[in-house]
Amino acid sequence: MKPKTKNIILKLIGIFLVAYWLFAIGSGIYFNRPDLIFWFCYLAMILIAIGCFTKDGSLIASQINLTAGFLIFWLIDFFYQFITKNTLWGITDYFFEQGWTIPRIVSLEHFFLLPLSLYALYLVKLKSKDFYKISIFQATLVFIILRVFNISEFNVNCAFHSCVSFIPNQPSVILNWFIVFFSSIAIISYLLVRGFYEKS
């Protein structure tokens, strides 16, 4: 692909993600859901956009680390309920309940965020293998903020109790949260390095 074409595509992805992020956060404020700003998916949206504008593969990859697991579980839960009409883990129950249309539109980001971020990473490539450090720092910082300020009403990022039945809350929600997230970061980092790392 020609560099000029690549740059245009990256800018378009970045602009789209910024616009969608503004729409999501704006709707969150309107519907009294300011907690949206702390969800990793919405943090990732704006940071991936910045990564597209600056061609920073490490920044893009660090956000894939934090969101891929969430997005995969969300999609599995969604399509299970969509096909069978029965709930699986309850993650996407809200999508099938009667209510406002706008929150459903906001949730559409679960369908496109991972493919777009992977495509953006494919275009810019990875020049470093230590992007996992950004993921660990960001995950820890957000978790501390959520717990210190007790932003628990909507269980943002599953920081207060498990979002799925097969991940236990015992013996410690905090310990289990870090085990799950750090394990996910390690696995996804490995896969991203294998697929996108390019020596400079």
For 165-194, how does the pLDDT look when each residue is reduced to its tens digit (9 = 90+)?
888 888 899 999 999 999 999 999 999 999
Chain mean pLDDT for the chain: 94
d(CA 1, CA 24): 32
Give this prediction's pTM. Answer: 0.95
Per-residue pLDDT at 27: 93
Cβ distance 84 to 96 under 8 Å?
no
Per-residue pLDDT at 200: 67
Percent of the chain at pLDDT exceeding 70: 100
Tell whether the model's pLDDT for residue 155 goes beyond 80.
yes
Structure confidence by residue, pLDDT tens digits, 83-124? 999 999 999 998 988 777 888 999 999 999 999 999 999 999
Of the ranges 94-103, 135-144, 151-160, which one carries the lowest mean pLDDT score? 94-103
Reduced to 3 DSSP states, what percent helix, strand and coil does the chain have, rounded to the nearest 5?
Answer: 75, 0, 25
Long-range contacts of 175-181 (CB under 8 A, 24+ apart): 177/143, 178/143, 180/69, 181/66, 181/139
Domain boundaries, the chain: 3-196
Percent of the chain at pLDDT exceeding 90: 82
Cβ distance 179 to 171 under 8 Å?
no
